[in-house]
Amino acid sequence: MLGDPLMALSEVAALLRRSERTLRRWRQDGLLRDVRLGGSVWIRRSDLERALRADDANNRDAATHEPSVMGPPRR
């Protein structure tokens, strides 16, 4: 998006209190989109917000998921 603020990977890591390595993994897994300019990696603020909303929705779904009635498999 034009005019969408770009954030350095280090800025995003500090904001989320996550390591840059974690953010690189998120990028590789397709959870977080990036922009590469001049050999540097940038994250659009809108892409960060989208990833956080998706993560929040996944966490909510996991929290409301009822455990299996059968329990864990027997060995």
Query: pLDDT for 5-38, tens place per residue?
Result: 999 999 999 999 999 999 999 999 999 999 999 9
Neighbours of 23 (CB within 10 A): 22
Region 59-74: mean pLDDT is 53
pTM score, two decimals? Answer: 0.67
Give the residue extent of every domain in the chain: 6-55
Positive or negative CA dihedral for 17, 50, 25, 2? negative
> What is the Cα–Cα distance from 8 to 51, expressed in whole angstroms?
16
